[in-house]
């Protein structure tokens, strides 16, 4: 038996960050993962998908916008397989980097499947068939989540696929039905459509990206339709059937059914926590009705010495949330003072085209919470940098409290808005007002000027509108 101060189960963005911070705090640390360092995010999620999206951006420009940019050529060839190979190289580089960080911080790595023997001990079935028993004063569960597919849809990895197969397959589908218009559905719609795939995007709720401000969702829907994506919001999937040449997906809207035939169907309707097969019930760790591990503000479970972070807690399924929870948890274990995470104000981004980013409350949510709301909105269309980039669509919308000027949230859609959002989240965290953003000098010409203009609109003094 090997003894540690901290044993982390799961080496994704939450787990490996928690392990590094625990080691930095002077704790002897080990980390376990049954598949790969870096977790889903670095291997088959956020990192390789951003690489594919960059290729998609180039592909879309070459296929659809060459005349606009004064470019001409004959016999364009787009090699989707090469794009996937590049994404794998990017992923591999970063996962190697995580391995380096483990060595640098003297963290012992065990590749295998872990299960609790008791609240301070886990058995690890290693890849070579042997077993290690690790004892930890503190054990952090960071096992993440997996995509959910209704059993009747029979996920087979070829005709009916999850995001894992979608991101790894080197063959470009000629046609695809994407079921679910959250971040994964929107991003793969962008990727495949850019390469010329016939894309049908189905969402049961009234709008795509249903958790975003409805105004943003409508703007994205308009952009998707303009690019040729068949958007079917407010449509319920009734059946997914495999055919000789692919799949037949039957959807309904107000009782009227439509059949869509395609080569593949991508199921992207949600996730379930990886909380089973760990032996949590035997040691008394409490789960909610969905299987998420229940934690307090320090990421502690109800069992002393057992902690949980990341997607397995069901708080917010975002890599940066998992990393933040990991640091908080490792500091709490050391006895440091920690601040609870304000999940309402956590930023999020969807890297479709155009990009979407947001944090805090939407206009509707702020009104429902009882605030007297004042909104500052500015379009990208008058912005010189956006016009120069030939990306003039979209807007920035800042939600403020009319009484005190407090920033309550923001919704953005347009070029590189994922990179613009941190100015607003930092301003909110430091209790700045829209007026202070408006009076901050922004470099010209930049996309960030749209933030300044939206802030000026929020205080009733817009310049360029």
Whole-number pLDDT of residue 263: 98
Place of tokens 């991101």: 167
- For position 431, which CATH number holds? 3.30.390.30
| Ranges assigned E (strand) in 34-166 | 108-118, 121-126, 131-141, 145-147, 160-161
260 and 276 co-located in one domain: no
Angle, CA 282 vertex, CA 277 and CA 285 arms, to 5°? 85
With pLDDT > 90 as the criterion, what percentage of the chain qualifies?
99
Does 340 map to a domain? no
Question: Is 188 within a domain?
Answer: yes
pLDDT 10s digits, 355-389 = 999 999 999 999 999 999 999 999 999 999 999 99
Domain end (from 223, 246, 269): 269
444 is catalytic: yes
Last residue of a domain, one of 269, 289, 317: 269
Average pLDDT over residues 181-188: 98
Of all residues in the chain, the percent with pLDDT exceeding 70 is 100
Q: pLDDT for 69-82, tens place per residue?
A: 999 999 999 999 99
**Residue 284 domain-assigned?**
yes
Would you place residue 329 in the very low, low, confident or very high pLDDT band (cuts 50, 70, 90)?
Answer: very high
- Which of the listed residues 269, 290, 309 is the one where a domain comes to its end? 269
Q: Examine the pLDDT at 99 and tell me if it is beyond 90.
A: yes
Q: In this structure, are 26 and 94 located in the same domain?
A: yes
Residue 39: inside a domain: yes
Residues 329 and 224 both lie in one domain? no
CATH code at position 51: 3.50.50.60
CA 317 – CA 325 distance, rounded (Å): 12
Assess whether pLDDT exceeds 90 at residue 191: yes
The 3-state DSSP class for residue 390 equals coil
Active-site entry in 207, 235, 320, 444: 444
Asked whether residue 97 falls in the same domain as residue 223, the answer is no
Q: Verify that 141 and 9 share a domain, yes or no.
A: yes
Domain match, 261 and 279 both = no
Average pLDDT over residues 415-426: 98
In a shared domain, residues 8 and 118:
yes
Q: Which residues of 56-66 are buried (b: 16+ CB within 10 A; e: fewer)?
A: beebbebeeee
Query: Tokens 């879309």 belong to which residue?
Result: 60
* Range of the structural domain that residue 117 is part of: 2-147+272-334
196/313 same-domain check: no
What value does the mean pLDDT take over residues 158-167?
A: 98
Q: What is the DSSP letter of 201?
A: E
Domains contained in the chain, number: 3
Instruction: Give residue 107's Cα distance to chain centre.
Output: 27
Name the average pLDDT for the chain: 97
| 372 and 451, same domain (yes or no) | yes
Residues 110 and 127: their CA atoms lie apart, in Å, by 9
Answer yes or no: is 343 within a domain. no
Per residue in 432-446, pLDDT (tens digit) is 999 999 999 999 999
Phi–psi pair at 126, nearest 5 degrees: -75, 165
Give the pLDDT mean for 397-418: 97
Is residue 440, in this structure, part of any structural domain at all?
yes
Q: Is 235 contained in some domain?
A: yes
Residue 345 forms part of a structural domain: no
272-322 tens-digit pLDDT: 999 999 999 999 999 999 999 999 999 999 999 999 999 999 999 999 999
Domain match, 203 and 313 both? no
Same domain, yes or no: 75 and 111:
yes
Span 82-93, pLDDT tens digits: 999 999 999 999
For 384, other C-beta atoms within 10 Å of its C-beta total: 13
User: Which pLDDT does position 465 carry in this prediction?
Assistant: 87
Same domain, yes or no, for 25 and 139?
Answer: yes
């Amino acid at each position: 038996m090997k003894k540690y101060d901290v044993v982390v189960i799961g080496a994704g963005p939450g787990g490996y960050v928690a392990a590094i911070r625990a080691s930095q705090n002077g704790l002897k640390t080990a980390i376990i993962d049954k598949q790969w360092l870096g977790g889903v995010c670095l291997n088959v999620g956020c990192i390789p998908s951003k690489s594919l999206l960059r290729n998609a951006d180039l592909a879309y420009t070459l296929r659809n916008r060459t005349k606009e940019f004064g470019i001409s050529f004959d016999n364009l060839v787009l090699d989707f397989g090469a794009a996937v190979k590049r994404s794998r190289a990017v992923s591999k580089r970063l996962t190697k980097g995580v391995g380096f960080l483990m060595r640098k911080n003297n963290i012992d790595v065990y590749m295998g499947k872990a299960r609790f023997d008791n609240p301070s001990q886990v058995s690890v079935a290693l890849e070579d068939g042997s077993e290690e028993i690790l004892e930890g004063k503190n054990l952090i569960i960071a096992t993440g989540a997996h995509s959910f597919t209704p059993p009747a849809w029979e996920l087979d990895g070829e005709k009916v696929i999850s995001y894992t197969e979608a991101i790894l397959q080197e063959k470009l589908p000629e046609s695809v039905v994407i079921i679910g218009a959250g971040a994964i559905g929107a991003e793969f719609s962008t990727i495949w459509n850019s390469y010329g795939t016939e894309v049908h995007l189905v969402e049961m709720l009234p709008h795509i990206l249903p958790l975003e401000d409805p105004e943003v969702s409508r703007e994205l829907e308009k952009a998707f339709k303009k690019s040729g994506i068949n958007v079917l919001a407010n449509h319920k999937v009734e059946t997914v059937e495999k055919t000789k040449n692919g799949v037949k997906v039957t959807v309904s809207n107000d009782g009227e059914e439509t059949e869509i035939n395609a080569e593949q169907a991508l199921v992207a309707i949600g996730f379930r926590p990886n909380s089973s097969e760990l032996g949590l019930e035997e040691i008394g760790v409490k789960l909610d009705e969905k299987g998420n591990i229940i934690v307090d503000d320090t990421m502690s479970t109800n069992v002393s010495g057992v902690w949980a972070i990341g997607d397995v807690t069901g708080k917010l399924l975002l890599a940066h949330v998992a990393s933040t929870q990991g640091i908080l948890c490792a500091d709490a274990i050391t006895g440091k003072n920690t601040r609870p995470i304000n999940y309402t104000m956590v930023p999020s981004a969807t890297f479709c085209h155009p990009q979407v980013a947001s944090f805090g409350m939407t206009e509707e949510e702020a009104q429902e919470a009882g605030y007297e709301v004042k909104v500052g909105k500015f379009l990208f269309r008058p912005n010189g940098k956006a016009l120069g980039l030939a990306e003039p669509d979209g807007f920035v919308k800042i939600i403020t409290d009319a009484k005190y000027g407090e920033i309550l949230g923001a919704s953005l859609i347009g070029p590189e808005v994922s990179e613009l959002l941190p100015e607003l989240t930092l301003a909110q965290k430091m209790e700045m007002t829209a007026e202070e953003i408006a009076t901050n000098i922004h470099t010209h010409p930049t996309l960030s000027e749209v933030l300044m203009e939206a802030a000026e609109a929020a205080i009733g003094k817009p310049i360029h509108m």
